[in-house]
Amino acid sequence: MACGKSLRLTIVAKLTGLERAREQSNGTPQARFALHGMFLFLVGLLTGLVETNLNNPRMGLAAHLEGVMNGTFLVALGAIWSEVILGPPQKTVAYWTVLYGTYANWAVTTLAAIWGTAAMSPITATGHSAQPWQEAVVTVGFVSVGLSILTATILVLWGLRNAALREPSSENV
């Protein structure tokens, strides 16, 4: 099953062009964040083109903004990633939780717009509701996004604190 999943991910990456772009970026985390950021920014823009056709257009607008803002966040994070000083395990957790959180934020918000759920979004969902299982999926999704982004933010902040506290070299003074 793992082999099949890996094959599907490889096929999706090749079809979307992400694999070739990753190879051309020399695989640096900064370049990967920039790539993911611009891709998510594009996804957010495309979401904006269809937001009025979704079951809950206000949540569709939120999904559009989540894609654009999270894409911008990833580009900005890529620009400072070399300043984040963490051990390899912590930096890996920060990297993957921020990617999960940004993409899942857009995806869950888009699902909420498509299904018209009111889960965890009373302002944008006024007058909308969906099947209980759809409300549950969106609730779990938003909770996982919140935990992921909080974890990533705390780790990145800690890594930047480590960078700010290190002794400056004579060339940086």
From the number of C-beta atoms within 10 Å of its C-beta (0-12, 13-18, 19+), residue 32 rates as: buried
Where does the pLDDT of residue 64 fall: very low under 50, low under 70, confident under 90, or very high at 90 and above?
very high
Confidence of residue 19 (pLDDT cuts 50, 70, 90): low
**Which range among 79-83, 102-106, 123-127 shows the weakest confidence by mean pLDDT?**
123-127
Decide: residue 168, CB within 10 A, 0-12 exposed, 13-18 middle, 19+ buried.
Answer: exposed
pLDDT at 78: 97
The answer to whether residue 85 scores a pLDDT higher than 80 is yes
What's the rounded mean pLDDT across residues 50-77?
96
The band of 6, judged by pLDDT with boundaries at 50, 70 and 90, is low
Mean pLDDT of 159-171: 80
What does the pLDDT read at residue 76? 97
